[in-house]
Homo-oligomer: A and B are copies of this chain.
Amino acid sequence: MLGWRLKEFSHPYNSISSAKAIMLLDQYFHTLLPIIEAELVSAVAQANGPGLSELHSMLSYAMGWEGPGAGPETRGKRIRPLLVLLTTAAAGGEWRVSLPAAAAVELIHNFSLIHDDIEDQSTHRRGRPTIWKQWSIAHATNAGDALFALAHLELLRLAETLPYPRVIQAARLLNQTSLHLTQGQYLDLAYEQQLDLTEADYWPMIAGKTSALLAACTELGAIGACATDETRQAYRQFGVSLGLAFQVQDDTLGIWGDSALTGKSTDSDLVTGKKTLPVLYGLSKKRAFYQRWLRGAISPSEAPSIANLLAEEGAKEFCLHQVERLTNQALAAFTTAQPQGEAAAALVDLANLLLHRKS
């Protein structure tokens, strides 16, 4: 019900079957990921120099290239750079032009993870100690700043292939996005101390924390294709809605997903105490869930029954409805953008992958 169905599309690639689309996406992953990775390696190499190999190692560790457990598993899916490149291709451009933008968003993503881990006092990420835990808060703060600067330097490499006004537009966008990330993170930190929150407080937080960077991916992709303002805005909206849908889906799985309810209830967002959409919904109702939340931390063994309680108060239905609404919004924007060719089909599949639906 919540997934995207290719049959809903009325574009040229409508004739491509779902199985074909997956194959296409696999091809894109196969072809593009090594190229993205090489671009990232060369961007991060700029932090190196005499006496600076440890700084470079911290960044390489953060990117999943060095240290124990280095490898594809610790690198994340690199969905963001792929989203940039596929959008450029779907908007009629040459994906290679957008390679610096693709690498830049991935560097910004990893910069924000390094600092978020400090701010949230997270000791582990993708099964490995976080940078601040492995080195120190001082080094992690500084290494994050280095990655931030590298991201923006990398973006400016667009000037080698794109007209200057587009490059400046892209640079402004990436900085506005970075600012938006900090605004979302500020709200997240501020909410920790607050109980009188409603679901209305949720949207500006995830608009900054999650949606801004995905919107930057699709908008940068459109800029790389020198798309018209209308098309660029449509791709941006596609990214905005996709990002919001993704986060709400993630929040829903964080309470009612398999790993939250069975065996690994320690992973439940109810146990970690995160102010996700279902929790904010429950708090705003001020009923039994709210009363339980007031009494303090929820243990892993309690998580399944409190997840049930929250569902009974309507939170799950509310969230699933939001995912559907936002997915439809994303689809509508995607249709408006009139994406072209095989890249468009692959983009749909990438969106599905992001929404945890392997279709």
Contact = CB atoms under 8 A, between A and B. Distances in A.
Interface of A: 46-47, 49-52, 54-55, 115, 118-121, 136-139, 141-146, 148-150, 152-153, 156, 159, 164-165, 167-168, 171-172, 175-176, 178-179, 181-183, 185-187, 189-190, 201, 204
B187 A138 contact: no
Contacts of A152: 152, 171, 175, 178
A150 B164 contact: no
A156 B168 CA distance: 7
A312 B265 CA distance: 67
B204 A175 contact: no
Contact of A115 (B51, B141, B153, B187): B141
Contacts of A164: 164-165, 167-168
Contact of A179 (B47, B137, B190): B47
13 contacts: A50-B204, A51-B190, A51-B201, A52-B187, A55-B182, A118-B141, A142-B185, A144-B145, A145-B148, A149-B182, A156-B175, A164-B164, A168-B168
Contacts of A181: 145
A175 B100 CA distance: 15
